[in-house]
Chain A
Amino acid sequence: MKISIKPWAVATSVAVLLMLALGACCSVPSFTPSFWNDAGLIQSHNNCYNYANNHRTDTFAQPGRAAGAIYAGFSCPDVLAAASADGIPRLPATGTCPDNRDKIALVVAPGYDFHWYRLDSSGFWTHKPGGTDATNVDNSGNPITNPETANRGLYTDFCGYFCACSDATEGNGHEKIN
C-alpha cells in the first residue's frame, strides 16, 4: 500500500506546530459583556483578572498563582510582582503595547484587595468587579476613558499598566493565569 503525503497537509501541520511552539497571536478585544454576564458559572467564577486578560479559567484567577508566586499582600509592589511572575510584560516606556497586545491596568485598595481594567478596541476601558457583571462604567456610572482618573471607590492606589496577550474571541486570552 502506498501512502501519499499531501503538501497542504504537511504545511498545515507545520503551521499548527509552529503556533504551539511560538504561542498564539495577540489581539485587542471588544466589549462583549454577554459572554461574562451569564448569571451563572462564567460570571461567578471569573473575576477582574480573568476579564482583563480576557481569559476564562472558572477559577477566580489570582495574580501569580499559575506561576506558584501568588501576591504576598494587597499593595502595588506585591500584586505587580505577582502579575510579572505570571509572565505578563509591563507597558514599555513608549506607552504602547507591542505585538498587538492589550493594555491592562492594575489598581489596589491598600490592604484589602486588587482590581484590573482592560482597554477595549473602542478606546474605552472596561472591567468586571468580582463575580458581578462586566461593565463599561465606573463607580459614578461614567464611561471609563482613563483608569487613573475613574471613580474607583476604595481602590485608591493606581499601580501601573501591563500588556496582555488577549484575543478577539471573548474568553480566549493567551496569558497563563489561574
Chain B
Amino acid sequence: MRRSTEALRRIARVAATAGTAAAMTMAFAMDAAAEPPAGTSGLTIQVLIYSGRPDPLFVIRDPARIAKLKQLLDQAAPEAAVDPAKSILPSILGYKGFLVENPGLLGGLPRQIAVYKQRVQDGGRRVLTDGGALESFLVDEAVRSKALDARALELLRTVRGDQGRTGGSPPS
C-alpha cells in the first residue's frame, strides 16, 4: 500500500513537472509570436533572404514613406493569371522577397503585403503586378535603414541582378 501511494505521488510529480514545462513552452511561443518590432506605430519589413538564421527586419515609421508605399501599391495592376490562393513568395534557397507587416493598418495599407520581383500580394491574397517598383522601393528602404550588412546586401543584389548599384536611391 505504501509503495503504491509513493508511485502515485511520483506520477503526480511527473505530471506537475510536465505541466510546468508545457506552460513555459507556451509562454515562450507566445513571446516569439509577439507583435513585430514596429508594433502598430509603423511598418515592419522582413527581408526574406535566409533559411536557417533569422531574416533581417527594418521599420518604416515616416508617414511620407508609408504614403509612397501606398501610392506604389495603388499603381499596381491585378494579375489574373495567378492563383491567389498560393503565396507569391517562392520556397527556394536565397532571396525570397519582402514581407510587410502592418498591424496598425497605417496609411490605408493592408495588414500584410508580400512582394517578390514584379508581383505583390496583399492580405486578401489579391495578386498584383507592378513591374518591380515596390520591390525596388523596399530594397532602397532596406539600404537606408542599414538593416542589411554588407554581405546580405551583396547577396540580395546578386540574386536580383543589380550588382552595379552601389547604394539606395535618394528619398523621393
Report which A residues bind B (CB closer than 8 A).
3, 5, 10, 13, 16-17, 20, 39, 41, 45, 47-49, 57-60, 62-63, 74, 79, 109, 111-116, 128-135, 139, 152-155
Across the interface, which residues of A come within 8 angstroms of B7, CB to CB? 10, 13
Q: How far is the CA of A58 from the CA of B91 in the complex (A)?
A: 19
**What residue of chain A has the Cβ atom nearest to residue B158's Cβ?**
A154
Given contacts A39-B87, A154-B93, contact A17 B4 (CB under 8 A): no
Report whether B93 and A129 are in contact in the complex, using a CB–CB cutoff of 8 Å.
Answer: yes
11 residue pairs bridging A and B, Cβ less than 8 Å apart? A10-B4, A45-B33, A48-B52, A113-B50, A130-B50, A130-B51, A132-B87, A132-B91, A153-B92, A154-B93, A155-B51
Report whether A154 and B51 are in contact in the complex, using a CB–CB cutoff of 8 Å.
Answer: no
Of the listed residues B28, B94, B155, the one surrounded by the most CB atoms of chain A closer than 10 A to its CB is B94
Given contacts A62-B52, A115-B52, contact A139 B33 (CB under 8 A): no
Report which B residues bind A (CB closer than 8 A).
1, 4, 7-8, 10-11, 14, 18, 28-29, 32-33, 46, 48, 50-55, 87, 89-94, 96, 99, 151-152, 155
Report whether B33 and A132 are in contact in the complex, using a CB–CB cutoff of 8 Å.
Answer: no
Count of A-B contacts judged by CB separation below 8 Å? 98
Report whether B93 and A135 are in contact in the complex, using a CB–CB cutoff of 8 Å.
Answer: no
Of the listed residues A5, A116, A129, A152, the one surrounded by the most CB atoms of chain B closer than 10 A to its CB is A129
7 residue pairs, one from A and one from B, having the closest CB atoms: A133-B91, A114-B52, A153-B93, A58-B29, A135-B91, A153-B94, A132-B91
Q: How far is the CA of A17 from the CA of B7 in the complex (A)?
A: 10
**What residue of chain A has the Cβ atom nearest to residue B46's Cβ?**
A131
Q: How far is the CA of A113 from the CA of B94 in the complex (A)?
A: 10
Report whether B53 and A113 are in contact in the complex, using a CB–CB cutoff of 8 Å.
Answer: yes
